[in-house]
Amino acid sequence: MQLSVLFPYFFPLLGYLFGSLPFALWVTRMVKGIDVRDSGSGHVTTTNTIRQAGWGWGALVLILDISKGFVPTYLSVRLGLPDWAVALTAGLAVVGHCWPVFAQFRGGMGLATTGGALLAINPLGFAIGLAVLISLILLIRHSAKAAFFTGLSIPVALWLLAQRGLLIWVSVATGIVVSVRFLEDWNREYRELWLDREG
């Protein structure tokens, strides 16, 4: 059997493993000697990196977390995988970011990695997803609840804006994971709109 025949079945696993790279954990441990999960929100995220290591390191983590969604999704498209396999690869990359095998399954929240997956399919999809997120944060004024509804709303917004095909499937696969992940923070108290969370 040719290796290319097996790609649709094994590439999603590679997506999960790539998504599992806990960059925020590694960066904060390298520059501060701490575990990013021990304070702040307790999550392996850009915002928690900013709290503990500063904006510059947070920006680096953001780029790396976006790449976790972009790289496996982009490669799966370039390899000509069927749409279901591309969507599954993108979804599992976000699963890996949220529940990383390389960090005791205690990871991030999935927004940046979802953005990377959408960017790999169509930059317009990324822009629409970001606009939905910002709009809901400003409307709801609670980041976790806004992100939960963002995961469910992006496919709808893309559809209403005449986007079809693979972009929709990727947005569904990644959006479901994000919504499930943010249920954990549903009742978290926020002092400010995004960064300053209680406990």
Q: What is the pTM of this model?
A: 0.90
Q: Is residue 3 part of a domain?
A: no
Q: Is residue 2 part of a domain?
A: no
The secondary element (H helix, E strand) that includes residue 60 is: helix 55-78
Q: Is residue 194 part of a domain?
A: no
How confident is the chain (199 residues) per 10-residue block, as mean pLDDT?
A: 65 95 94 85 86 91 97 95 96 97 92 97 96 93 90 96 94 96 78 43
Q: Is residue 191 part of a domain?
A: no
Q: Is residue 152 part of a domain?
A: yes
What pLDDT shows up at residue 36? 87
What pLDDT shows up at residue 196? 46
Domain of residue 84, residue span: 10-185
Buried b (16+ CB within 10 A) or exposed e, 55-85: eebbebbbebbbbbbbbbbbbbbeeebeeeb
Domain count, the chain: 1
Q: Is residue 167 part of a domain?
A: yes
Q: What is the DSSP string of 96-160?
A: HHHS-GGGTT----SHHHHHHHHHHH-HHHHHHHHHHHHHHHHHH--HHHHHHHHHHHHHHHHHH
Token pair belonging to 106? 């205690």
Q: Is residue 103 part of a domain?
A: yes
Q: How many CA atoms lie within 13 A of 126 on its CB side?
A: 15
What pLDDT shows up at residue 193? 37
Q: Is residue 199 part of a domain?
A: no
